[in-house]
A and B are shown apart, each in its own frame.
Chain A
Amino acid sequence: MAIDKSNKPQSYMSLAFKQFKKNKLAVISFFMVMGIMLLGVFAPLIALEDPITPVLENKLQPGFWAGNKSHPLGTDELGRDIFSRIVYGTRISLKVGYMVIAITAVLGISLGLISAYYGKLIDLLLMRITDIFLSFPPLLLALAVVAILGTGLEKAMLAIALIYIPQMARIVRSVVLTVKELPYVEASRALGAGNLRIIVCHILPNILAPTVVYLTLLLADAILYTAALGFLGIGIDPSTPEWGAMLSNGRDYLLLGYWWVTVFPGLMIALSVLSFNLFGDGLREALDPKMDI
C-alpha cells in the first residue's frame, strides 16, 4: 500500500507557511516589509546627508529628472535632501509602529484576558471603559491625548496606542471567551491547575494567532496615524524627518510646481502602509485554521 504523502501529519506552523507561500501578494509584501526595515536599520549608511540641518542655499532643488545627482529626490523648502529625510523617516515610522504595537499588545492582551477570564463585575467594568474609548473618533482621541499630555514623539506613540488598546482588548476577550470553555481547559482545571497556570500555559498560546494578525495590521495603521498627526503639525518636533510632516510642509509648494516635496513622502507612506497591510492579510489567511484551502 502506497503511502499517501498528503496525509502525512503536518505541524500548524508548516501548514501556515505553505498557505502563506501560495499567496503571491503576501510574499511580495513580505520582501517589501523586509526592505523597509533594512532601510530603517541602515539609515545612516544609506542616507546622503544630515536629514535635519537646513542648507538654505539648496532649497527646492529638483531631483534626478533634472539631472541632480547629489539630491536624487530633490530638496525641500529648507534645502534638506528629501531622499535622506525619507530614509531617516523610516526609522521614526517603524519606531512609532513597534512601540505602539508593544504598548497595545501588553495592555490590550492583559485587559482582554482578565476581563474575559474572570468575567462578572470585572468584565462589566473593563468593557464599559473600553466602550467609552471606542466611542471617540480615533484621530480626535489622539489629538485630545496630545493636547493633554503635550507634544513629543513618545506622547504621540501613547496617544496612538490608546486608540488601539480597547480594540485589542475586545478581540482578545472574544477569543478567550471561547477558549476558556474548551475541554482542555476544563481538564487542566480538574487536574488542579491554578488560574495563572491556565492563563499562561493554555489560554495565551491559543489566542496568539488572531493577536499577531491584528498587531501586524495595526503597524500599518500606526504608521498612517503618525503621519496624520505629523501632517496636522501636532505631535513631534517639525525638524524630525517624519513622513506626514514632510507631506504637510510640501503642500504649500505643490501648486507652485515643487511637486517632489510632497509626492515622495506621500508615495513612501502609501507604499509602507500597503506592504504592511498586505503582509498582515497574508498572515491572517495563513494562520486562520478556518480559512484552510
Chain B
Amino acid sequence: MFRNKKLVYIVVLLLSAALVMTGCGGTGSPPASGEKGKDGTLIIARSTDADLIDPGFGWSEGDIDIIFHIYDGLVKFKNDDLEVEPALATEWKVSEDGKTWTFKLREGVKFHDGTDFNAEAVVHTFKRILDENNKYYGVVQGGYSYLEYLMADVVEDVVAVDEYTVDFKLNQVFAPFLTYMGYYSQYIVSPAALDKYGAKFPQNPVGTGPFVFEKWQRGEYVQLKANENYWGEKPKIDTLIFKCVPESSTRLMELQSGQVDVIKALDPGQLSKVEEDEKLELLSVPGANLFYAAFNCTKEPFTNQKVRQALNHAIDMDKIVEVIYEGSGTRAINSLPPTVFSFDETAGPYEYNPQKAKELLAEAGYPDGFETNLYTFIYARPYVAKPVQVAEVIKAYLEAVGVKVNIVTNEWATHSDIMDNMKHDIGLSGWYDIPYPSNFLKAMALEGANTGYMPDELVEMAKAAWATYDRAEQEKIYKEFQHKLYEAAPLIPIAHNNYTAAISKNVKGFELDIIGTVRAHKAYKE
C-alpha cells in the first residue's frame, strides 16, 4: 500500500514538472515592453496576423500595416486628400500626351539587405507581376495581386532610362496614377531578395523602409527593428511588434494592463471604456469606407426605381449610426465617403420619411408592400462592427412600411458568393479602398456592389473622369455622377465606419490614417 502511494506521488511530481517545463519551453510570446529595461519597444495588438508581407500580393489589413513600415513607394501620401510628396522618387513629370510618367529616383538609398536601390529595382517590382517575360514573374505564388488589379490594364511598359530614371508608359491618360503610386501595392521590393528567397520572399520581406523585418512567429507576432540607415527621418523606437490577438475584449485588457501599447479595431461598445480610462487615448478617423444595402436591380420588384427610392426613405440611418455604430461613424449621404475629394453633399441623402416611402410603394404598384429576403453576414468587417444587428433594425423599419423581410445570415464566404452570383434580393455589404472617387463610384457602385445596375451613361462618365489629370474637371464629372447615382438609388448607403485605435497616453507621435493603417514611423514612448 505504502509503495503504491509513493509511486502516485512520484507520478504526480513528474507530471507537474513536465507541465512546468512545457510552460518554459513554449515558443513564447513577444518580449514584454519593460523587459529590455528601456522603452524602445512598441507593441501593436491587432485582430489578425500577417499573411503575405509582400506589396505585390498582400492585401489584407494584417499585411498592409506591416508593408507600410518595411517598404517605401516612389511617392507617399501627404494628407488625407491623397496629395503626394516625394519618397523614393525626388521629382516626376508627365509627358504632353499624358501617357508617359518619368520619375527621378533618390540616390544613395539601400535596401535592408545592403543592395542598391535603383531603376532596375523599380522595373522588376512592377514587371514581376505585369510582364510574363520578367525573370521574377511567378516566383512568388501569391494569388490575388492588388498591383495587377490597379495597373495591369493601363501600364504598358516600365523602362529604366538610366540608373536613377524610370519611365512608366501607359496606354491612356490615367487620372489616379500618381495617387496609386503612393499606395502600398506599388511599393518597391529588393530584386536581390527575390533571388535569394524566391517563393519564400513574402515571409522574408526586404524593402527600403524605416523598419527592418526581424522575425515572424506565425499566428502570434511579427517583429521589426528600426532601420539604422534609413534615408529619411529615422524611427525613434528600436523595435516594433505587431501582435495577433483575435478577441477584441482581450486586446483591450492587454492594453489596460500595459502588455501592449496600441490596439486596433475597437468594438463600438469599448469606445466609452477607453475614453473613461485616464491612461488611454482614443484615435478615431473617419474611414474611407461604405456600408450599404445593395438591391438586386435585375429582380422584381427592385427593377422599379420607385421601390428602391421608397426603401431608401423608409430607414432612419441617423438612428442606426447612433445606436449600432454608437457614434463611431457617420451617416452616409451617398456612395462616396465625405472625406474623398469631389464629394457632393447635395447629392443625397434620402430623408427618413415612412409616409413618403408608403406613397412611393403605392405609386410603384405595391400599396400593400411585398415580401423579400435581406441577406447579411455574421462577423465584423472594417465598415461595420455589427452587421446582424443592422439587418434586424432595417427589417423593423421596412416592416413598418409594409415590406415583409426575412433575414438570411451566412458566413462571409457564403454571403459574398450569394451576392456575386446575384442570388440576393437585398444584400448588406461594404467597401473600403483608396480614397479616390473612382474607387467608390466606378469600382464599387457600378462594378463591385452586385446591384446589376450599370447604365452606359455612367460607364462613359467614369471613363471620361479617368481620361483627365485635371482635378477640377474630374470633380465636375464625379459630382454629376453622384447626382445620377442618388436618383437611381441602386443601393442604400448606410454609414461610413470610423477607424479606431487606442493607445497608452505615454505613446506619442503615433498615427492612424484614413485607410485605417497604423503609422509608427514617428512614434516614441515617454
Q: Which A residues contact B (CB, under 8 angstroms)?
A: 52-54, 56, 59, 77-78, 147, 150-151, 232-234, 237-239, 249, 252-256
Contact pattern, B 170-196, Cβ under 8 Å of A = 1, otherwise 0: 000000000000000000000000000
B10 CB within 8 Å of chain A: no
Contacts A/B (CB < 8 Å), 8 sampled: A56-B319, A78-B323, A78-B389, A233-B378, A234-B410, A237-B409, A238-B391, A252-B269
B134 CB within 8 Å of chain A: no
B275 CB within 8 Å of chain A: no
* B269 and A238 within 8 A (CB): no
Which residues in B have their C-beta under 8 angstroms from that of A52? 396
Chain B residue nearest to A240 in the complex (CB): B407
Within 8 A of A (CB), among B399-413: 399, 406-411
Which residues in B have their C-beta under 8 angstroms from that of A255? 249, 252
Which residues in B have their C-beta under 8 angstroms from that of A252? 267, 269, 386
* A151 and B409 within 8 A (CB): yes
Separation of A41 and B467 alpha carbons in the complex (Å): 68
Contact pattern, B 366-410, Cβ under 8 Å of A = 1, otherwise 0: 000000000010100000001011011101100100000011111
Which one of A56, A234, A254 has the greatest number of beta carbons of chain B within 10 Å?
A: A56
Ranked 6 nearest A-B pairs via Cβ = A233-B378, A255-B249, A56-B323, A237-B407, A239-B392, A256-B269
* A238 and B396 within 8 A (CB): no
Known A151-B408, A253-B269; judge A54-B396 contact (CB<8 A).
yes
**Of A78, A147, A150, A256, the contact of B392 (CB 8 Å cutoff):** A78
**Of B252, B270, B407, B414, the contact of A239 (CB 8 Å cutoff):** B407
Known A54-B396, A239-B395, A253-B269; judge A151-B389 contact (CB<8 A).
no
Separation of A239 and B267 alpha carbons in the complex (Å): 21
Residue count of chain B within 8 Å CB distance of chain A = 27
* B396 and A53 within 8 A (CB): yes
Given contacts A52-B396, A54-B396, A239-B392, 16 further A-B contacts (CB under 8 A): A53-B399, A56-B319, A56-B322, A56-B393, A151-B409, A232-B378, A233-B388, A237-B407, A238-B388, A238-B391, A238-B392, A238-B407, A239-B396, A252-B269, A252-B386, A253-B269
Which residues in B have their C-beta under 8 angstroms from that of A237? 406-409
Separation of A239 and B323 alpha carbons in the complex (Å): 17
B135 CB within 8 Å of chain A: no
B273 CB within 8 Å of chain A: yes
* A54 and B393 within 8 A (CB): yes
Task: Give the Cβ gap from A46 to chain B, nearest Cβ, in Å.
Answer: 23
Within 8 A of A (CB), among B406-446: 406-411, 414
Within 8 A of A (CB), among B55-87: none
* B409 and A238 within 8 A (CB): yes
Which residues in A have their C-beta under 8 angstroms from that of B414? 147
Task: Give the Cβ gap from B400 to chain A, nearest Cβ, in Å.
Answer: 9
* A256 and B270 within 8 A (CB): yes
Task: Give the Cβ gap from A157 to chain B, nearest Cβ, in Å.
Answer: 16
Task: Give the Cβ gap from B45 to chain A, nearest Cβ, in Å.
Answer: 16
* B410 and A78 within 8 A (CB): no
Separation of A274 and B302 alpha carbons in the complex (Å): 48
Which one of A77, A147, A233, A234 has the greatest number of beta carbons of chain B within 10 Å?
A: A233
Separation of A237 and B410 alpha carbons in the complex (Å): 10
Task: Give the Cβ gap from A82 to chain B, nearest Cβ, in Å.
Answer: 15
Separation of A153 and B83 alpha carbons in the complex (Å): 52
* A77 and B249 within 8 A (CB): no
Which residues in A have their C-beta under 8 angstroms from that of B376? 238
Which residues in B have their C-beta under 8 angstroms from that of A54? 392-393, 396
Which residues in A have their C-beta under 8 angstroms from that of B269? 252-253, 256
Chain B residue nearest to A251 in the complex (CB): B249
Which one of A234, A239, A253 has the greatest number of beta carbons of chain B within 10 Å?
A: A239
Separation of A253 and B392 alpha carbons in the complex (Å): 17
* B323 and A59 within 8 A (CB): yes
Which residues in A have their C-beta under 8 angstroms from that of B406? 237
**Of B273, B386, B388, B409, the contact of A256 (CB 8 Å cutoff):** B273
Contact pattern, B 202-216, Cβ under 8 Å of A = 1, otherwise 0: 000000000000000
Which residues in B have their C-beta under 8 angstroms from that of A239? 392, 395-396, 407
Chain B residue nearest to A76 in the complex (CB): B389
Separation of A168 and B185 alpha carbons in the complex (Å): 57
Separation of A120 and B270 alpha carbons in the complex (Å): 64
Chain A residue nearest to B393 in the complex (CB): A54
Which residues in A have their C-beta under 8 angstroms from that of B399? 53
Task: Give the Cβ gap from A200 to chain B, nearest Cβ, in Å.
Answer: 42
Separation of A119 and B270 alpha carbons in the complex (Å): 63
Chain A residue nearest to B248 in the complex (CB): A252
Task: Give the Cβ gap from B210 to chain A, nearest Cβ, in Å.
Answer: 36
Known A54-B396, A151-B410, A233-B409; judge A249-B388 contact (CB<8 A).
yes
Which one of B273, B389, B391, B399 has the greatest number of beta carbons of chain A within 10 Å?
A: B389
Task: Give the Cβ gap from B513 to chain A, nearest Cβ, in Å.
Answer: 27
Chain A residue nearest to B323 in the complex (CB): A56
Chain A residue nearest to B400 in the complex (CB): A53
* A234 and B392 within 8 A (CB): no
Separation of A54 and B389 alpha carbons in the complex (Å): 10
Separation of A249 and B409 alpha carbons in the complex (Å): 13
Chain A residue nearest to B273 in the complex (CB): A256
Separation of A254 and B249 alpha carbons in the complex (Å): 10
Chain A residue nearest to B414 in the complex (CB): A147
Separation of A233 and B414 alpha carbons in the complex (Å): 13
Separation of A291 and B386 alpha carbons in the complex (Å): 53
Which residues in A have their C-beta under 8 angstroms from that of B396? 52-54, 239
Chain A residue nearest to B392 in the complex (CB): A239
Task: Give the Cβ gap from B236 to chain A, nearest Cβ, in Å.
Answer: 34
Which residues in B have their C-beta under 8 angstroms from that of A151? 408-410
Separation of A150 and B269 alpha carbons in the complex (Å): 32
Task: Give the Cβ gap from B165 to chain A, nearest Cβ, in Å.
Answer: 54
* B407 and A249 within 8 A (CB): no
Contact pattern, B 261-302, Cβ under 8 Å of A = 1, otherwise 0: 000000101100100000000000000000000000000000
Which one of A151, A232, A238 has the greatest number of beta carbons of chain B within 10 Å?
A: A238
Which residues in B have their C-beta under 8 angstroms from that of A53? 396, 399
Contact pattern, B 35-66, Cβ under 8 Å of A = 1, otherwise 0: 00000000000000000000000000000000
